[in-house]
Amino acid sequence: MKRFSGRTALISGGLGDIGRAIAIELATHGADVALCGLRPASEAEPFLIELRALGQRVTYDAVDVADADAVQVWVERVEAALGAPTLIIPNAAQVTQSDFQRLTPQQWNRELRVNLDGAFHMAQSAALRLLEHRKPGRIVFIGSWAGHRVHSDIPAYCVAKAGLRMLCQCMALEFAPHGILVNEVAPGIVDAGLSCKIMSGNAELRESVRQMTPVKKLIVSQDVARAVTFLCDPENLQMAGSVIVQDGGLSLLAPRPCTR
C-alpha cells in the first residue's frame, strides 16, 4: 500500500512550480489532492489531468488565501468532496523586489497578508477540522531561509517568513498532543519561481549562484517536495516545530546577492 493512501492533501499556490512538485510527489504516494490558487480553473485543468493519471482524486479552486472566509469555505468544500484533509501544505507566496525606501504600504500589506496571514488561515481552518474529527495530521509550512537571513531587496518577504517560523512553532506546541505535527521546510535559492526568472537567459548568473552554493548544486522544486513528503510521512512521529533548512549550505556563508 502507498504511504498516503486514503489521505487528502491540501496545497495552496498549487499551480506554482513548488506547489506542482509537491502535488505530484504526494499523489504519486497515494494521496488525493486539493489545490488552490489565484488562476481560473480553466488554467488548472491540464495539470489536474496529469495528476488524475496517477490514479488519485484531484480538485482545484480559485481562492485568495488572504481571505479567511474564502479559505474556510474552500476547506469545507474539499472535505465534502475528498474527505477531511490530513496533509496541509500552506505554500502560496508573493515576493516584491524592493528595498525599504521604495516599498509601498500596499506591497507590504499584500505580502504579509498572503505569506503570513494566508498560511495562518489555511493551517488553522484545517487543524480545527482535524480536531473536530479527532484525526491526526501533518501541517508543513513552506518557509524560506530568508526567514532567518537578511535579504535587503525583499524585506517584506523576510519579515513574513520570519513570522511564519514562529507561527509554525506556536502551532506545533499547541497541536502536537492531538497528533497534528506542524513543521517547516525552508528552501534557499530554488531554480523555480522568481529565482528562475531572474536567472533565465543569464548563464553567467546561474553558474555564479551554483558556485556560491557550498554543495555546488541548485535546489529544484522536486527537492522541496521530497522534504515535504518526509515531514508528512505517517511514520514520522517525533518532529514538531522543526525546520528543514534546505539551502545547500548558503546559511553558513555571508549574505547572498540573489533572491530565492
Number of domains in the chain: 1
Range of the domain at 99: 8-188+221-247
| pLDDT at res. 238 | 96
pLDDT recorded at residue 258: 44
Q: In CATH, what number is assigned to the domain containing residue 48?
A: 3.40.50.720
The pLDDT tens digits of the residues spanning 200-258 come to 778 888 888 889 899 999 999 999 999 999 999 999 999 999 999 999 999 898 654 44
In this structure, is residue 260 part of a structural domain? Answer: no
So what's the pLDDT on residue 27? 98
- pLDDT for residue 24 is more than 80: yes
Distance CA 120, CA 93 (A): 12
Q: What is the 8-class DSSP label of residue 219? A: B
pLDDT in tens, 174-210: 999 999 999 999 999 888 876 777 777 788 888 888 8
| Residue 253, in any domain of the structure | no
Cell of 59: 480538485
**Mean pLDDT to the nearest integer, 33-50:** 97
Give how far Cα 205 sits from Cα of 146, 169, 175, 213, Å. 20, 35, 43, 12
**Which of 184-223 are b and which e, b meaning 16 or more Cβ less than 10 Å from the residue's Cβ?**
bbbbbbbbbbbbbebbeeeeeebeebbebbeeeebbbbbb
Q: Is residue 199 part of a domain?
A: no
Q: What is the C-alpha to C-alpha distance for residues 74 and 231, in angstroms, rounded to an integer?
A: 24
Asked if residue 131 is part of any domain, the answer here is yes
In-domain check, residue 17: yes
Residue 214 lies in a domain: no
For residue 37, is it within any domain? yes
Cell of 60: 482545484
| 114 pLDDT tier (thresholds 50, 70, 90) | very high
Q: Mean pLDDT throughout 81-88?
A: 98
Which amino acid is located at 108 in the chain?
A: W
Is 105 part of a structural domain of the chain? yes
pLDDT in tens, 120-179: 999 999 999 999 999 999 999 999 998 898 888 899 999 999 999 999 999 999 999 999
- In which element (H, E) is residue 209 found? helix 203-212
